[in-house]
Amino acid sequence: MEKYKGDSEFHTLNETLSKLTKIDAPLSFEEDLFNKIRDYDSVNFGFLKKIYSFSMISPVAGSVVLSLLFVIILSFSSTNGSDPFFTELLPRFDTIRKVIIDYNSSNNSEKIPNSITQREKILQREKAIEPEINKSSGVSSVKVLSSIQNIRQVSDSLYVYYSGQKNYRIVYLTSEEKNQLDKVKNRIFSQIM
């Protein structure tokens, strides 16, 4: 032990302190210590060791279980998630105006309004039911069809008015189709509510 002047200044004290009885660890020190370490090991690593040993014994089984879990998680998340790109759009009933035009009853022979006369007939009927449209749709200013050129036939009894100014179309339905539409509408509303 190297000396410096402080050491010689307190020479007697240093000697006394260095001659103090050395206090030893108890005889059971190591036994107690290794028991504590063993406890620490079993508490902290027991679970991890079990997993590790399982995967060592059967790596194939381990990988199969993991891949199954992965697939289950993926499929579960895909069914429950609401992906906006795959969600079916709900029909906007506020933009659909329904007009009941019973062509079958008025003119069975003229199912397809190809001629100007037939188209004019449609316009007349539409004008006649204009108040009804206002009541049912709640729209304050209903634009009456101005041009018969915009009327197109979709099916035997379905005629569609294509509006060039608006981003929706007016669909003319038969009473049967209207009933069907109402049923669908009710079903959708019952699901939403």
Partner 1 sequence: MPAKELKEYSDEELILDFQINDNKKAFELLVQRYKNPLTNYVFRFLGDYEACVDVVQETMIRVFKNKDSYKSIAKFSTWIYTIAGNLARTELQRRKKTVFSTGRNSEEEITLEIPDNRYRPDKILENSFKEKAIQEALLKISETYRKMVVLRDIQELSYEEISEISGLPVGTVKSRINRGRAQLQRLLKNIYKE
Burial class, 149, CB count within 10 angstroms (exposed 0-12 / middle 13-18 / buried 19+)? exposed
Task: Evaluate whether 145 touches 161 at the Cβ level (below 8 Å).
Answer: yes
Within 13 Å and on the Cβ side, how many CA atoms surround 150? 16
Say whether 112 sits in a helix, a strand or coil: coil
CB of 3 to partner 1, least distance (A): 10
Q: Which is nearer to partner 1, 22 or 92 (CB)?
A: 22
Least CB distance to partner 1 at residue 21 (A): 6
CB 89 within 8 A of CB 172: no
| Residue (6 or 164) nearer to partner 1, CB | 6
Interacting residues with partner 1 (CB under 8 A): 1-2, 4, 6, 9-10, 12-14, 16-18, 20-26, 29-30, 32-33, 36-37, 40
In 17-123, beta strands by DSSP E? 98-100
Residue 2 vs 88, nearer CB to partner 1: 2
CB of 7 to partner 1, least distance (A): 9
Shortest Å, Cβ 86 to partner 1: 50
Q: How far is the CB of 48 from partner 1 (least distance, A)?
A: 15
